Amino acid sequence: MDRDERKLIIEALLFVSDKPVSIDALKSVIKDIDPTEIRAIIEELNAEYAASARSFSIKEIAGGFQMLTDPVYSKWIAALYKRPPDRLTGPSLETLAIIAYKQPLTRSDIEAIRGVNVDGVLGTLEERGLIRTRGRLEAPGRPILYGTTTEFLQHFGLKSIEELPKLKEFKESDLDFIKEKEKTQTINTQTGKLVTESHETVKEGADNNEGPAQGG
């Protein structure tokens, strides 16, 4: 089997798969190929797609490779399959972000951050396969620990959890002495006209119960 044939086989396997295909899976099918060559072939295929302005490319996500269409064509694809956009609600996204950045953690941990009950949201995220139980915390009651799944990585197009955007590390100095320009209008008692005055106020985060942004 020559390289061109291996290239066509990899393309065909990725084309028919509805989920990411790992290098090990490709190697188990093709046999006489090494991981370095697989990556080289995928890069070559992507270069060909880009050169011919194709509507798809091969992405490395969730521990494997998958052929995906460009998001710009999503509304036409959704119209073809007559299904609404696959969106998460605000509460679901907030809860999922907390789990993604702080996993593994318990329901009580999540509720302490969000300030609301999350039983229903956790159930929805589990049903969609975005989170799963990751064991139990060695504490009274042994509460369940939650973490994200491979489906989570696939849903958001991530190779690994390390690809999540980095949260800014706030310092106390970032929040102290926030200067705001405020304008007020007063009446000149001599002329009777409105006069705009600009003055600067200083607001301390501690005095307004402001604190560092919570992760997630």
Establish whether domains 3-73 and 90-163 are of one fold: yes
pLDDT tens digits along 134-164: 999 888 889 999 999 988 988 888 888 888 8
- The distance from CA 27 to its chain's CA centroid, rounded to whole angstroms, is 29
What CATH number has the domain spanning 3-73?
A: 1.10.10.10
What CATH number has the domain spanning 90-163?
A: 1.10.10.10
Please, which contacts does 34-39 make with residues 24 or more away whose CB atoms are closer than 8 Å? 37/3, 37/6, 38/10
The pLDDT, as a whole number, for residue 145 is 94
The pLDDT, as a whole number, for residue 86 is 64
Which is more confidently placed, 167 or 16? 16
- In this prediction the pTM is 0.54
pLDDT tens digits along 77-105: 878 877 666 678 888 988 999 999 999 99
Q: Over 70: is that where the pLDDT of 112 sits? A: yes
Q: What crossing angle do the helices spanning 3-16 and 35-51 adopt, rounded to 10°?
A: 70
The pLDDT, as a whole number, for residue 193 is 46
pLDDT tens digits along 25-57: 999 999 889 999 999 999 999 999 999 999 999
Instruction: Determine contact, residues 98/216, Cβ cutoff 8 Å.
Output: yes
- Could you give the percent of the chain with pLDDT greater than 70? 75
Q: Where are the domains of the chain?
A: 3-73, 90-163, 172-208
CB atoms within 10 A of CB 98: 22
The pLDDT, as a whole number, for residue 80 is 86
Helices assigned H by DSSP within the chain: 3-16, 23-30, 35-51, 74-81, 90-102, 107-114, 119-127, 150-156, 172-175
The pLDDT, as a whole number, for residue 182 is 35
Instruction: Determine contact, residues 55/73, Cβ cutoff 8 Å.
Output: yes
Q: Over 50: is that where the pLDDT of 210 sits? A: no
pLDDT band, very low/low/confident/very high, at 1 (cuts 50, 70, 90): confident
Name 196's bridge partners.
185
Instruction: Determine contact, residues 107/118, Cβ cutoff 8 Å.
Output: yes
The pLDDT, as a whole number, for residue 42 is 95
pLDDT tens digits along 57-75: 999 998 899 999 998 988 8
Q: Over 90: is that where the pLDDT of 10 sits? A: yes
